[in-house]
Structure 1
């Protein structure tokens, strides 16, 4: 880690795609996070995180499709940032543009509402979210590019798209002089590797310079030891969640071999991927945040050994097709 002028150890930064933004290797997610914390605790966590260089926050308006929860976690985040005394230039904001009700609910309308709820006028970059079935990808590219030109954000990526759809988006954008997606936010963990490590996305990483933002790295907390999460957690492509839960003792043993916690192992593993610019995780307690930062030391000490140590924990191998999006098996 580097050190800033206040002598606080700073997490490293990587570029999120060859043409994407420079970001800290860790980012804090918002889903079922800020609304589970006392305000004072959240303010302290945000201050400490930004002080350590973890100044990327993934914040969404959860009120679309399966996320039609009328959640207020984004509103709470805006309040916490203000109470922490942060200026807008002190942090990076990654927003979401949902495709569930698109184009009925336009991107322009979505970003306007989302930013207003947080209390700012711009994001730094956004992710065009999940979709099933048919999608006019050219319209998505056009509408996202228009918002880049309008100054609402500087870059964009996609969330759990298939590699083929992402190639189409990229090629159309470049052919039309528009802003192409520069990264993909994918479900990626010790257990779920088929899509991020498969050949179709591998070509995008190697030939197109696409960046990878790892999400759901703890499987809703299971890979960090919370075997029966009480909160709502992400989708279960391939129906393998029970197998992941049953494999947790093996995760513990692998972590113990390196003198690390399971959470640190889960994060460090993702950081070994050549295209990963950023790992997202939720932390609702300072102790969780501090523990997660220990993944950097684990990576520095044992990076080359981690993949071999957890080879047998690849649970979605031969279950989820590498060319698929997260919603298909």
Structure 2
């Protein structure tokens, strides 16, 4: 039986393309992409169409900062508001996020898309990596926690320099052929790594990565230098995470003051390294002034900015409460003015300093 979603095909004329009725990797007939409710997740939005990014629900906080009861409320509100795609990982809450998400979606599996990831969970203090046994075992365990026989999208959570990528691709291909993952993607991979994957996948005759998940927000804009130009030349669905910079763009943190107890800048070493600097908090103060002048909250402006960015096909929102989800959804109705967009670019350049874009 072929899966109703469309398998990614090879490049033609230097560009990616999706066949409307071609045969998928399972050997069956694939449904036309336009007939799928998850179509926006399988093809990048052509430049200049004006289509806003698709929102999906991130569940990294489920089972940790967000208890199960509130997580269920968030999932159900997302469904009410038309969000059809849900993103989790085996690393989130040591698998508890997957378990909670599966419970919250019980009875609705056929109407939604689920993505999970492998390669970032900690084993004896180190990432589990992307060896073939790890990848295949990780997805099997994820399926059990989610209470489903397949995921719609399976990500490699981060590159693993210790494992030959050909070995990892072999595992991914077996999972696709077994129907346990309908599509696959990558998270935190560089542009050159994506191009390498495309080449290797073409040589193997297997589908290329359908989706690439990258970090992007008002204070971390590195993907504008090389990744986004790459994605324009070799279109791939780009979904972005960390829209509020781990809470920094909520105004929660104050320059010169100790972070709130229990916050990520206290408890999470990765977030400390990513966002824990007075220089960055100074930039947030300047952004807050722009938001105030626009008559918006900083949160609304952060979401509205991403929703208007070219090259962003979908946006992961990871709310800790129903109210946070509602705030993200409200930003869809409030695009930023050209003057505000120009001011945000000016601020970014000022805090970036000398930017030798050719030196990359």
Q: Could you say which residue in structure 1 is the equivalent of 2:112? A: 91
Is residue 2:239 matched to residue 1:213? Answer: yes
- Answer whether contact 2:317 2:325 (CA < 8 A) is retained: no
Q: Could you say which residue in structure 2 is the equivalent of 1:143? A: 171
Residue 129 of structure 1 is aligned with which of 157, 177, 180? 157
Q: Could you say which residue in structure 1 is the equivalent of 2:341? A: 307
Q: Displacement, 1:24?
A: 7.0
CA distance in 2, matches of 1:317, 1:272: 24
CA distance in 2, matches of 1:34, 1:103: 27
Q: Could you say which residue in structure 2 is the equivalent of 1:7? A: none
- Answer whether contact 2:157 2:188 (CA < 8 A) is retained: yes
Alignment of 1:1-329 (within 5 A): 14-18=40-44, 25-62=54-91, 70=94, 72-82=96-106, 86-98=107-119, 100-101=127-128, 102-103=130-131, 105-131=133-159, 133-194=161-222, 196-199=223-226, 201-227=227-253, 228=259, 230-231=263-264, 232-233=267-268, 235=270, 241-242=276-277, 243-299=279-335, 302=336, 304-311=338-345, 312-313=347-348
When residues 13 and 176 of structure 1 are mapped into structure 2, their CA distance, relative to the original with a 3 A threshold, is: closer
Aligned-CA RMSD value = 3.2
- Answer whether contact 1:27 1:57 (CA < 8 A) is retained: yes
Q: Displacement, 1:90?
A: 2.2
- Answer whether contact 1:158 1:183 (CA < 8 A) is retained: yes
Higher relative contact order, structure no. (Cα contacts within 8 Å, ≥ 6 residues apart): 1
When residues 166 and 298 of structure 1 are mapped into structure 2, their CA distance, relative to the original with a 3 A threshold, is: same
CA distance in 2, matches of 1:208, 1:237: 34
CA distance in 2, matches of 1:132, 1:237: 23
When residues 95 and 240 of structure 1 are mapped into structure 2, their CA distance, relative to the original with a 3 A threshold, is: closer
The structure number with the bigger radius of gyration is 2
- Answer whether contact 1:55 1:91 (CA < 8 A) is retained: yes
When residues 206 and 37 of structure 1 are mapped into structure 2, their CA distance, relative to the original with a 3 A threshold, is: closer
TM-score, normalization by structure 1: 0.79
When residues 262 and 245 of structure 1 are mapped into structure 2, their CA distance, relative to the original with a 3 A threshold, is: same
- Answer whether contact 1:18 1:209 (CA < 8 A) is retained: yes
CA distance in 1, matches of 2:317, 2:330: 14
Deviations 1:110-140 (Å, cap 9, x if unpaired)?
1000110121111111221113534422222
Tell me, which stretches of 5 or more residues in structure 1 are unaligned?
A: 1-11, 325-329
Query: Matched residue of 2:117: which SS?
Result: strand
CA distance in 1, matches of 2:173, 2:341: 38
